[in-house]
Structure formats: C-alpha cells, structure tokens
Amino acid sequence: MKKIFLVLIAAVLVVSCNNEVKPPNLDPTEKEKIVKQYFEYFNKHQWKELAEMYAPISDFKDPSFGKEMITQTRKQTIDKYVSLQDVFPDLHDEIINIYPSDEKHIIVEFVSTGTAADGSKFKLPICTIFTIENGKITKDFTYFDNFDDSKSNK
C-alpha cells in the first residue's frame, strides 16, 4: 500500500511540474509587427501613441540616462521624446535589421539621425533589445557609442 501511495505522489508531482501556467508568447512575426509600429510612431513623432506601446511602468537602460537601469512611466517617455524633438525637429530612425530572439525579446539595429537648429547633424548607430510581454514593451535596453571623439587622443 505504501508503494502505491509513493507512486501516486510521484505521478502527481511530475504532472504538476509539467503543467506550469505560462503567459502566452508572441510569435516572432507579432513581435516584429510591434517594433515596426513603434518605429513608425517614432518617425511620425507620435509620442503619445509610441508611449502607449510600453507597459505603464517600464525598465530602461540607455546611455542617455546614465549607467544604471531606470524605470519610467509613459508620461516620462513622452517628455523625453518631446525634448529630443525640440533639439532635433527632423529626428528619424532607420531600421537596418530586426533580429527575433526568444519568446519575449527582439533586437533592433537602426540608425538615428537629426539636425539641430544650428545646422549640426548627427548620425548614430543604435541597437535596442526590447522585452515584450502581453503585447507591451516592458524593457527597452538601448546601446550606442556615446564616446565623445573630441576628447580622444588621436
């Protein structure tokens, strides 16, 4: 009787471990649609619509924020891009490539450009790793070279 009881307990444990409830994952084409929509909003400077693509509070890594990860609300995201557009009214991102990763992540390689009021231009290659959960961006980890060439020893 003890043997049957132990076998039943083992069977219940195996079944319960295999029946984990996982959130639904987006297939790669859905994640790609989300990031393409993101960049469409960005290039049209539709900051409110872009911010709505994020979770209400999201994690960010971005050299423009410093070295540590921060959290931001949608309102803070809107404010960031409005300020950036004030400096670079023709702000534009061009996607170079999209790399689907795993069930939650997608990597986007792009080039950001813009012209300041004084006519100075910038062209910056950037790579962002987006984490997308339940159809919303929950993490935006952006990487670019922010090394100031004017301070380097040439």
Over residues 49-58, the pLDDT tens digits come to 999 999 999 9
Q: Which CATH number fits domain 26-145: 3.60.21.10, 1.10.3720.10, 3.40.50.970, 3.10.450.50?
A: 3.10.450.50
pLDDT digits (tens, 9 = 90+) for 123-146: 999 999 999 999 999 999 999 986
| Reported pTM | 0.78
Per-chain mean pLDDT for the chain: 85
Q: What pLDDT score was predicted for residue 70? A: 96
pLDDT digits (tens, 9 = 90+) for 8-49: 454 444 444 444 444 455 566 899 999 999 999 999 999 999
pLDDT digits (tens, 9 = 90+) for 85-119: 999 999 999 999 999 899 999 999 999 999 999 99
In three-state form (DSSP H/G/I as H, E/B as E, the rest C), the secondary structure along 35-101 is HHHHHHHHHCCCHHHHHCCEEEEEEEECHHHCCCCEEEEHHHHHHHHHHHHHHCCCCEEEEEEEEEC
Higher pLDDT, 14 or 77: 77
Q: What pLDDT score was predicted for residue 8? A: 44
